[in-house]
Amino acid sequence: MAGRWVGENRANLPFGSDSTLRSENRRLVEEPKSYFESISKSGADNAALKDIINKQTSIGLQPVLTSSAQLARQGKSGIEVVTDY
């Protein structure tokens, strides 16, 4: 499954049946401080956030909970604009 966002940056977001990323979050690599601030404000699960910080990876840890991801899990396809995931 994969979602896609369109905006300033474009990316395919591969995620698994557990709804977590299957590739590294680009912002974590390029702007870790900004990434951690953003994910903290997003209301992410504290345990997942601690794991991401301690392991320095978002793979298998960061959830993708957009409406696009929900549609993909239902077997639907299409394009949607989302501001963050």
pLDDT of residue 40: 84
pLDDT of residue 3: 47
Q: Which two tokens stand for residue 49?
A: 């956030």
Q: Which two tokens stand for residue 74?
A: 């239902």
pLDDT of residue 52: 93
Going from N- to C-terminal start, the domains of the chain cover 2-73
22 vs 2: CA distance, rounded Å: 9
Stretch 57-63: mean pLDDT: 93
Q: For residues 69 and 6, which has the higher predicted lDDT (pLDDT)?
A: 69
pLDDT of residue 9: 58
pLDDT of residue 53: 92
Write the CB contacts of 6 (distance below 8 Å, at least 6 apart in sequence).
79, 81
Write the CB contacts of 62 (distance below 8 Å, at least 6 apart in sequence).
20, 21, 25, 39, 44, 48, 52
Cα dihedral value 53, 57, 60, 62, nearest 10 = 60
